[in-house]
């Protein structure tokens, strides 16, 4: 039956290719595009792109024939039965198979999971289709490693797709209630990250909903060539340390068309990250978009090539922020924040080189150097008396800070130890201290 379906798919795709070719030839004779009535010298390129797109459809269709379902390995999906081992067994089968494989988590069910680590490398090119809900154990003793719940480790060319319904639910309420940030009488302890991608290349995460993580919601660590799109991340505004998407030691990553409302940074970018592109982001509640914190415990930190192009922030504690500890070293450089709208944001634009989230921080001479940062086409309202704050180091002043078409109402600007250029249309004006 599988062979028959494959042959039928090949015939269908070949027919589509031939129809596309004929249509392209009819409409684009000698480079003339009748749909536009103009000469199109790139018509052959467009024809090639049409064929490439159909080939992609063909590959996707063929993948559907090679599906491993967690249900086939005993997953009940009743929200009560422990389905962890069924997921592990399904993963082993999918990972060890050859070719393109779909690992299916069927929709309409809730799968109770204890901590699970899905290890590579894999022989297959894997797509994990999470169409149901993954629900985390709330029993602390189930977590031998308190820092992780679901981890994908060393899986190259992995795609994770949530379709229209796929949800990862960390059930974080129990963890939040025992957090020292909610109750100072409690001892500060670790809590798991809901979803971690570690040491992977060519990663795709699409159409996924992550809710109520125990701590960080999605963490992307030591990865390269990553695309995250159409992701929705939610948790209450008072949920402690629930960063939406945490990026560390990762290169060439794009985050687009996503909605994040949480109790900490919507997106946090930490040391070792380069070429980070963020676009079409909706953020709030939360602590905004943060680079850092960097340089904690006198460490070296390097972040470069970060571009945020297109974002809307509402009711957040910060807007776009760079935060570093005293005593660190390294650089945060070549950063662009542009085309951003802010509504009722407490600290819309902020660089803080005296960041401290500990009970006591001592003054130190060294600092992470912040340089070449552009703020362009940013508008909105401040919910505090500060719209722009550059609190930079005396020994390592901020260099190459450019403000261009920045208009934030309801607050003033304060710039300390910062080399700032106001290009045009900047309100409030930066006042150096």
Active site residues: 264, 287
What is the maximum span of the chain, computed from C-alpha positions, in angstroms? 78
- Using the CB atoms, write b or e for 116-137: b if 16+ within 10 Å: bebebebebbbbbbbbbbbbbb
DSSP structure string for 310-348: EEEEES-S-SEEEEE-BT-EEEEEEEEEEEEEEEEESSS
**Whole-number Å distance between alpha carbons of 78 and 70:** 13
Cα separation values, 147 from 140, 173, 194, 217, 232, Å: 11, 16, 9, 12, 22
Q: Under a CB-based contact definition with an 8 Å cutoff, are residues 14 and 61 in contact?
A: no
* Token duo for residue 201: 């290349």
Residue that the structure tokens 């380069």 belong to: 274
Q: How far apart are CA 312 and CA 403, in angstroms?
A: 18
């Amino acid at each position: 039956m599988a062979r028959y379906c494959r042959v039928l798919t090949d015939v269908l795709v070949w027919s589509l290719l031939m129809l596309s070719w004929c249509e392209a030839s009819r409409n684009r004779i000698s480079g003339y595009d009748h749909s536009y009535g103009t000469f199109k010298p790139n018509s052959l390129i467009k024809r090639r792109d049409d064929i490439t797109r159909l080939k992609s459809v063909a590959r996707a269709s063929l993948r559907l024939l090679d599906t491993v379902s967690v249900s086939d390995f005993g997953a009940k999906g009743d929200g009560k039965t422990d389905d962890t081992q069924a997921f592990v067994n399904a993963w082993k089968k999918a990972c060890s198979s050859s070719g393109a494989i779909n690992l299916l988590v069927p929709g309409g069910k809730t799968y109770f999971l204890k901590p699970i680590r899905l290890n590579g490398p894999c022989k297959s090119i894997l797509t994990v289709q999470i169409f149901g809900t993954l629900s985390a154990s709330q029993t602390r003793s189930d977590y031998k490693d308190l820092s992780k719940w679901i981890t994908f480790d060393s899986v190259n060319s992995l795609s994770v797709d949530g379709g229209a319904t796929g949800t990862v639910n960390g059930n974080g309420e129990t963890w939040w209630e025992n957090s020292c940030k909610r109750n100072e009488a409690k001892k500060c302890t670790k809590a798991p990250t809901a979803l971690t991608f570690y040491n992977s290349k060519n990663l795709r995460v699409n159409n996924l909903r992550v809710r109520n993580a125990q701590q960080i919601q999605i963490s992307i660590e030591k990865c390269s060539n990553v695309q995250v799109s159409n992701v929705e991340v939610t948790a209450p505004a008072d949920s402690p340390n629930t960063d939406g998407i945490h990026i560390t030691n990762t290169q060439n990553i794009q985050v687009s068309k996503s909605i994040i409302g949480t109790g900490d940074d919507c997106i946090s970018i930490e040391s070792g990250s380069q070429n980070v592109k963020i676009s079409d982001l909706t953020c709030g509640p939360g602590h905004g978009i943060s680079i850092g914190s960097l340089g904690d415990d006198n460490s070296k930190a390097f972040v470069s090539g970060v571009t945020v192009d297109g974002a809307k922030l509402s009711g957040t504690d910060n807007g776009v922020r760079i935060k570093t500890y005293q005593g660190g070293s390294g650089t945060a450089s070549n950063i662009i924040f542009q085309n951003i709208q802010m509504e009722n944001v407490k600290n819309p634009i902020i660089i803080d080189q005296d960041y401290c989230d500990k009970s006591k921080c001592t003054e130190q001479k060294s600092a992470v150097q912040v340089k070449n940062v552009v703020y362009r086409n940013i508008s909105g309202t401040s919910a505090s008396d500060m719209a722009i704050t550059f609190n930079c180091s005396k020994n390592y002043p901020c260099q190459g800070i450019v403000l261009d078409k920045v208009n934030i109402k309801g607050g003033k600007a304060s710039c300390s130890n910062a080399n700032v250029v106001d290009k045009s249309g900047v309100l409030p004006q930066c006042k150096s201290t």
